[in-house]
Amino acid sequence: MVEQLWETLDLIGQLNKPMRLLQATFSAAGMQAWFLIFLLVLEQEGYGPELEIIENAVEVNLPIIKRGLAIREALERELPLVAHDVLDPVEIRRISQGTQTERDAYVEYQRAVYRQHKEDFDAFWQRHPELKGEEES
């Protein structure tokens, strides 16, 4: 679980210098043993369900994050102007912290971009069926 957590933090850009230092510290065998004891104490104190929630969230979201990054890289390589319109990281971060109305407006904007570039997107998905999510197959 811990390695997946580090990987997830890295992929979403949250593995900053202090977190990298913590990661390097926890890669030592002694620190891993200490962390295991820490997790056992947390479980004994009643935090087991919360730890399972975190573990499940990481296990579920890590493949989604990896697929999203692969889609972004492929779109930036093949359709750079379209990629910038639909996958601008600054705009996505701003919208994710915004109101529901702002999020709804952004989704509608993305739909408009899709309609405008439908042929390009259709060709992209034909070239990259491996990037489609299970729900889209």
Please provide residue 94's backbone torsions phi and psi, each rounded to the nearest 5 degrees. -65, -45
Residue 114 included in any domain? no
How many other CB atoms are found less than 10 A from the CB of residue 75? 22
What's the pLDDT score for residue 87? 76
Residue 14 included in any domain? yes
Residue 101 included in any domain? no
Residue 37 included in any domain? yes
125, 71 Cβ separation under 8 angstroms: no
Residue 110 included in any domain? no
39, 52 Cβ separation under 8 angstroms: no
What's the pLDDT score for residue 117? 92
For the chain (137 residues), the mean pLDDT of every run of 10, in chain order, is 78 79 80 85 89 88 87 91 79 82 89 92 93 63
pTM (2 d.p.): 0.66
114, 85 Cβ separation under 8 angstroms: no
* Domain count across the chain: 1
Owning domain of residue 21? 2-79
Residue 17 included in any domain? yes
Measured CA to CA, the distance from residue 137 to residue 128 in angstroms comes to: 12
34, 89 Cβ separation under 8 angstroms: no
Measured CA to CA, the distance from residue 63 to residue 2 in angstroms comes to: 15
Tell me the CA distances in angstroms from 102 to 24, 86, 111, 112, one per residue in order: 39, 15, 14, 15
Residue 19 included in any domain? yes
What's the pLDDT score for residue 78? 94
Q: Which residues contact 133 (CB under 8 A, 6 or more apart)?
A: 64, 67
Q: How far is CA 122 from the centre of its chain?
A: 24
What's the pLDDT score for residue 134? 58
Residue 35 included in any domain? yes
What's the pLDDT score for residue 137? 42
The pair of three-digit structure tokens given for residue 55, joined into one six-digit string: 């573990």
